[in-house]
Amino acid sequence: MSVLSWGRSLPRDLRLLFFSLFLWTFGLGVYNYVWSLYLTRLNANPEQVGLVYSIGFFAAAVSMIPGGILANKYDNRTLLIIGWAMSIPVPIMFYFSRTWSDVIPGLVLLQLSAFNLPAMNAFIGALGDQKRMSSAFGAVYSAFPLGLVLSPAVGSLLLAWFAIRDLFWVSLILWTVSTFILFPLKRQPPRQVDTKAPLLEFPRTHLELTILIFLFGEAVALSITSPSFLPLFLQDQLHFNDSQIQLLGSIQSVGSAVFAILLGRWAATRNPGSIMAKELLLVAGGALGTVLAGSPLLAVPMVFLLGGARASSYVSYSLLSNIRQGRSRAGQFGFYLTFEQFGFVVGAFIGGFLYASNHIGNLITTSILFILLGALAGFRIRRVPANSHGAR
């Protein structure tokens, strides 16, 4: 089944969400893979690069539970539009930054716009096929890596004539258009169970707790290396230039898209924990292989494998959507998204110190952590019936 035919099988509003997310991530990908290089041009050292990323991820983390609470009280469509619109001023703020610390206000605003992730997950969960929920989540979230496939190549071409700073104007246009695409979405007001829900709903079963640990660990493992320090490694160790790093970012995004789509399809019909474990071993091999590659050509397939690092988290959220049916929107996703974002905070902070002490330490640590996460998924994550509340 092709990506396009799979997309046509989605409800209309999920297709619109897919297209909007695609354009938004296209705007992100124009500069994302050289973002850490931009920070070094603004006189940031590795620890400061890690600090900037950590501050951004912290802003996203503290927005998740409030975002879930808002999703319990207000229409999902409205929250999606507000979140998208919050990102529009950010490229202008980045463009006029003159030191690495100047980017922090814009980055905080950008990451706070992620407050609508609980609403987006609830939006998908409400419209997706309950029997193939992993397919719905995989299809919509595949827009993220698909949007990052061509955009780094476009960014690479633009860097032949422009500075990294100038790429932010392209992002501004795409983020504005992607926001307007959301206006035709149908309203999705809160249900009675949402409006009467407690502010916090904690994991209640062993499986829910396992998924919480998994999401946190996967975020730590990935952010130790990517996107913060992989571009620096490629520049310092393999001597890639800005344009080449952007092109390799396209390869990484192809891997993200392929794994997101395939895992979504396979997990809908097979044991999700086993599928996630096998995929994470491939990701671990990609991280270790990037260290051992020794040449730009050999690094290409390794970075492709590393691109699959986020695919298992999409499967995890599809499992939560089924396990926690009947819970509020905040209860389904807010607590989990918060812990996941704090994982990114921890990983980026650790990554800065690892890279300052040893350039290969980040990738080796990432590889080891993904092997451990694969074991956790393989032994502890399994499917439950759609009408179940999980197993103790």
Asked whether residue 63 is assigned to any structural domain, the reply reads yes
**Which pLDDT belongs to residue 82?**
95
Confidence of residue 84 (pLDDT cuts 50, 70, 90): very high
The pTM for the full model equals: 0.78
**Which pLDDT belongs to residue 42?**
94
**Which carries the bigger pLDDT value, residue 41 or residue 382?**
41
Asked whether residue 390 is assigned to any structural domain, the reply reads no
Sign of the CA dihedral with 289 first, then 290, 295, and 301 last = positive
Closest to 34 in 3D by CA, of 170, 186, 155, 202: 155
**Which pLDDT belongs to residue 134?**
59
Asked whether residue 221 is assigned to any structural domain, the reply reads yes
Confidence of residue 1 (pLDDT cuts 50, 70, 90): very low
- Residues 83-97 have a mean pLDDT of 95
Judged by average pLDDT, the poorest of 40-44, 301-305, 348-352, 388-392 is 388-392
**Which pLDDT belongs to residue 9?**
67
Asked whether residue 388 is assigned to any structural domain, the reply reads no
Q: What is the CATH number of the domain that holds 172?
A: 1.20.1250.20
- Residues 68-89 have a mean pLDDT of 89
**Which pLDDT belongs to residue 390?**
43
Angle at 248 between CA 242 and CA 253, to 5 degrees: 125
pLDDT digits (tens, 9 = 90+) for 125-165: 777 555 555 567 767 877 887 888 888 888 888 988 999 99
Confidence of residue 267 (pLDDT cuts 50, 70, 90): confident
H or E element at residue 371: helix 361-380
- Residues 13-20 have a mean pLDDT of 90
pLDDT digits (tens, 9 = 90+) for 244-260: 888 888 888 888 878 88
**Which pLDDT belongs to residue 392?**
38
Judged by average pLDDT, the poorest of 43-57, 169-183, 263-277, 316-330 is 316-330
Tokens of 231: 């571009």
Asked whether residue 126 is assigned to any structural domain, the reply reads yes
Number of domains in the chain: 1
- Residues 20-25 have a mean pLDDT of 93
Asked whether residue 345 is assigned to any structural domain, the reply reads yes
Tell me the pLDDT of the chain averaged across its residues.
84
**Which pLDDT belongs to residue 200?**
63
Local structure of 191: helix, strand or coil:
coil
pLDDT digits (tens, 9 = 90+) for 34-49: 899 999 999 999 889 9
Closest to 92 in 3D by CA, of 180, 178, 175, 181: 175
**Which pLDDT belongs to residue 331?**
54
Q: Is 44 left (phi over 0), alpha (psi -120 to 50) or beta?
A: beta
- Quick one: what percent of the chain has pLDDT higher than 90? 33
Residue 377 and residue 275: Cα distance in Å, rounded? 9
Residue 233 and residue 239: Cα distance in Å, rounded? 9
**Which pLDDT belongs to residue 391?**
41
Q: Is the pLDDT of residue 7 over 70?
A: no
Tell me the residue range of the domain where 9 lies.
3-380
Residue 71 and residue 382: Cα distance in Å, rounded? 28
Asked whether residue 392 is assigned to any structural domain, the reply reads no
Dihedrals phi, psi of 154, to nearest 5 degrees = -65, -45
Asked whether residue 389 is assigned to any structural domain, the reply reads no
Q: Is the pLDDT of residue 93 over 90?
A: yes
- Residues 172-179 have a mean pLDDT of 96
- Residues 209-226 have a mean pLDDT of 91
- Quick one: what percent of the chain has pLDDT higher than 70? 86
- Residues 321-349 have a mean pLDDT of 74
pLDDT digits (tens, 9 = 90+) for 290-319: 888 877 888 889 999 988 888 888 788 778
The answer to whether 283 touches 308, Cβ cutoff 8 Å, is yes
